[in-house]
Structure 1
Amino acid sequence: MKIKSIETFSITVPLKQPFKTALRTVTKLKTIIVKITLEDGTVGYGEAPPTHVITGETKQSIEACIHEVLKPLLVGKSIHHLESLFDDMKRSIVGNSSAKAAVDIALYDCFAQLAEMPLYQLLGGWKNSIETDYTVSVNEPDLMAQHASNYINQGFNILKIKVGKDTIHQDIERIQTIREHVGHEPNIRLDANQGWSVKEAIYAINHMEDLQLNIELIEQPVPAHDIKGLKQVTQHTHTPIMADESVFSLYDAKGVLELGAADLINIKLMKSGGIHEALKIVRLAEAYNVECMVGSMIETKLGITAASHLAASQKNITRYDFDAPLMLSHDVVDGGVYYDKNIIHLPDQPGLGINFIKESMNSYD
């Protein structure tokens, strides 16, 4: 079955409220939708949100990569030779991980539809539902505590708290204030988004341990390139440390795992270049007895559905960060995963289970 066409569309969706991290503030989602059509009419979808502060990609670079490099490479080739297609994509251009991910996702969507199986079953079928956290943006302590309380009242049991902005003492105050409002039962994980130095991270984590703030894990406390610094933090704290921006590729993961630089790895399809490469990271981490989380950028339910299919398929993926669609002002995707408060259920339809994109789209053919 040959690939007939590859199209892209752009969508803009406002967020309910600004999403703030140590790296950026987002008020609206601007994303690229990829549509692959096979010669029998089968349609597969993928998504690539431009996140230039993390992946280095813009809307223009994503569209250029897809139409000038990946599309000429893939159109006319058989979908049944997936390994060959992915290898061609990987070697065709350096970087451009989000552009590759969107095409990778659409290819998997088509392939699973031809196999007449939901993608998570085709990939391994470990489970068909998962529990997501909800992210609290970095703000003043009282406002963050208010947001945290609201999410707990909405039925979420796990909070991902953004820190790494302003001073280390303000970050500690943020977590203390949140704990005072939500109590010690909710699970709290922190994400510093590279915002601390090694000394700041060790001091802050040890201090929060002394205060018994009961933190599940700390995500990417130091700059992405500082793997030795990440190892220092891991060695000098009891709280588990998770690598995020430090791990894009299989080779990044190999370096972190061999050095023992982190206790956990956060995989995002937009970093890894898609499901195919993400699976390699999951399996390598499992060989080192290191568990993985799968997270996302700010994406529509399309991208989150693809990440959820991967996450639900593998035993070694034990944590999930898939709240992004809940942050959007309205849903633009028909089909895909559905939310029951904090629980995400995988669709039974073949492929991703995406029916169509509701929003009017700007085409780039």
Structure 2
Amino acid sequence: MEASMKITDIELYSISVPLRTPFKTALRTVNAVEDIIVKINTDEGVCGYGEAPPTGVITGDTSGSIIAAIRNHIEKAIVGMDIEDFEEIMEKLHKSVIGNYSAKAAVDMALYDLFGQKWEIPLYKHLGGSKKEIITDITVSVNEPEEMAADALDAVNKGYKTLKIKVGKDSKKDLQRMQAIRDAVGYEVDLRIDANQGWQAKEAVKVLRQMEDKGLMIEFVEQPVAAHDFEGLKYVTDNVSIPVLADESVFSPMDAVKIMQLRAADYVNIKLMKCAGIHNALKITALGELYGVECMIGCMLEANVSVTAAVHLAMAKNIITKIDLDGPVLCSENPVVGGAIFDNYRINMSDGTGLAIKGIQNLQKIN
């Protein structure tokens, strides 16, 4: 009979990784990744890792709330349980506290890490294992048009074939931004734009039609309107030929169902921090398969722990056709030993079971 693997305790750490350059969107400016690292220990001496970025402006989760949710609710619900009872652990995790998706996501990926290690299989193979390598886009922060054009050209010179351009601060200037970038990089490069909820529905239709008329060849537009505005999202989707991707509108499988049934968007963006981890992300991929809606996998500003979990999911599911996992590339260093390997736009996985993470450097313990 297999030996059991029981959860003994959860350790929390903070990590700080400076960005190469400031990350600017319609919602915020960030200079460093400041995340919470979760380490779940077991009686077998095996540990699993997870990570949660405090992205209050998007998820509502702060460092304090992530720590409190794990210490006061999640830890009490799952410590002592056996990793073999995986479905029951997930049920207790999700029922332990309302919301707090980032905290749940960090614990969820550490549990999947342990599950893979228990059965001595890389997580992506356990989940479906369809791909050996994936290709990510890279984000160009919102700045003046000339600076954005230079940043875009720099990315193309590094080999990136797909750029994600942050817009949404000023629709008139957004048109100038996209024209400058397209002029700089030519038409062999795919441009996708992310408005981060920055436009009103009619404003979005107006500016997107202008981009169509100028022949800017936009692959898709991400979250043009406010997260809660499903009707506005559908209005944009119905009134422009540029495909629309729902991001902040999709926090849960229930949100995904609603958007897919309404045909409120052409694509859906999965982020582990929004949907509370891999367990729910798998439900969204299943819905995508059911409704014929392709998915993108994205990340917040995260280091290589949680992005590694997202890479495993992306490698496992064919319905995930678009990859936006550039968080670690935007960082000035990588504190993670093992996990996903980033060679600019190419992402591969190092050898190992579970998440294949061997260790994490420069951690500060949270008591």
CA distance in 2, matches of 1:136, 1:337: 22
Aligned partner of 1:107 in structure 2 is 111
Aligned-residue RMSD, C-alpha? 0.8
Q: CA deviation at 1:122?
A: 0.3
Partner of 1:74: 78
Offset, 1:90: 1.2
Following superposition, the deviation at residue 38 of structure 1 comes to 1.2
1:150 and 2:150 are equivalent in the alignment: no
Q: Spell out, residue by residue over 1:11-34, the C-alpha distance to the aligned partner (whole angstroms, 9 max, x if none).
A: 111111110000100011110000
- 2:365 is aligned to 363
* 2:223 equivalent among 202, 214, 220: 220
What amino acid sits opposite 1:289 in the alignment? G
Residue 324 in structure 1 maps to residue 327 in structure 2? yes
Q: Deviations over 1:39-63 (max 9, x none)?
A: 1011110000000001101001000
1:257 lines up with 2:248 in the alignment: no
Q: Which of these residues, 125, 131, 135, is aligned with residue 135 of structure 2?
A: 131
- The answer for the alignment partner of 2:9 in structure 1 is 5
Contact 1:2/1:77 (8 A) holds in 2: yes
What residue in structure 2 maps to residue 51 of structure 1?
55
Q: Is the 8 A contact 1:132 1:321 kept in 2?
A: yes
Corresponding residue number in structure 2 for 1:351: 354
- Post-superposition offset of 1:276: 0.3
Match of 1:289 in 2: 292
Q: Conserved in 2, the CA contact under 8 Å of 1:49 and 1:298?
A: yes
Query: d(CA) in 2 for partners of 1:6 and 1:341?
Result: 33
- Which AA in structure 2 matches 1:163? V
Q: CA deviation at 1:349?
A: 1.0
List per-residue Cα deviations over 1:125-162 (Å, max 9, x = no partner): 01121000000000000000000000000111110000
Give, in angstroms, the shift of residue 220 of structure 1. 0.2
1:119 equivalent in structure 2: 123
- How many residues matched? 363
Q: Once the 2 structures are TM-superposed, how far is the Cα of residue 326 of structure 1 from its aligned partner?
A: 1.1
Q: Give 1:170-185 correspondences, 5 Å limit.
A: 170-185=173-188
Q: For 1:177-219, what per-residue CA distance to the aligned partner results, in whole angstroms no more than 9, with x for missing partners? A: 0011000110110000000000111011111111110110000
Letter in 1 for 2:128: G
Contact 1:118 / 1:347 at 8 angstroms: preserved in 2?
Answer: no
CA distance in 2: counterparts of 1:73 and 1:337, whole angstroms = 30
Structure 2 Cα separation of the partners of residues 363 and 345 of structure 1: 30
Amino acid of the residue matched to residue 311 of structure 1? A
**Alignment partner of 2:206: what SS?**
helix
Aligned partner of 1:140 in structure 2 is 144
Which 4+ runs in 1 deviate beyond 6 A?
Answer: none
Q: Which amino acid aligns with 2:338?
A: G
- Determine if the alignment matches structure 1 residue 159 to structure 2 residue 163: yes
Structure 2: distance between partners of 1:50 and 1:339: 23
Counterpart of 2:338 (choices 331, 335, 339) is 335
The answer for the alignment partner of 1:63 in structure 2 is 67
After TM superposition, give the deviation of residue 303 of structure 1 in Å.
Answer: 1.1
Inter-partner Cα distance in structure 2 for 1:324 and 1:63:
22
SS in 2 for 1:326: helix
- 2:135 is the alignment partner of 1:98: no
State the distance in 2 between where 1:173 and 1:217 align: 18
Counterparts in 2 of 1:264-283, with a 5 A limit?
A: 264-283=267-286
SS in 2 for 1:156: coil
Q: Summarize deviations over 1:277-301 as a string: whole Å, max 9, x none.
A: 0000111121110000000000111
Q: Which amino acid aligns with 2:365?
A: S
The one-letter code matched in structure 1 to 2:300 is: M
CA distance, structure 2, for counterparts of residue 198 and residue 357 of structure 1: 43
Quote the offset at 1:345 in angstroms. Answer: 0.5
In structure 2, C-alpha distance between the alignment counterparts of 1:204 and 1:113, rounded to whole Å: 49
C-alpha deviation, 1:340, in angstroms: 2.5
- The partner residue of 1:312 within 305, 312, 315 is 315
TM-score by length of 2: 0.98
CA distance in 1, matches of 2:67, 2:236: 39
Q: TM-score, normalised by structure 1?
A: 0.98
User: Which whole-Å deviations, capped at 9, do the CAs of 1:231-271 have from their partners, x for residues lacking one?
Assistant: 00000011110000000001111111111100000000000
Distance 1:15 1:341, change over 3 A: closer
Could you list the runs of 5+ residues in structure 1 that have no partner in the other structure?
none
- The runs of 5 or more residues in structure 2 that have no matched partner are none
Secondary structure of the 2:11 match is strand
Deviation at 1:363, TM superposition (A): 1.4
1:20 aligns with 24
Identity %: 52
The code of the aligned residue for 2:296 comes to M
Q: Distance in 2 between matches of 1:286 and 1:3?
A: 34
Q: Which amino acid aligns with 1:79?
A: I
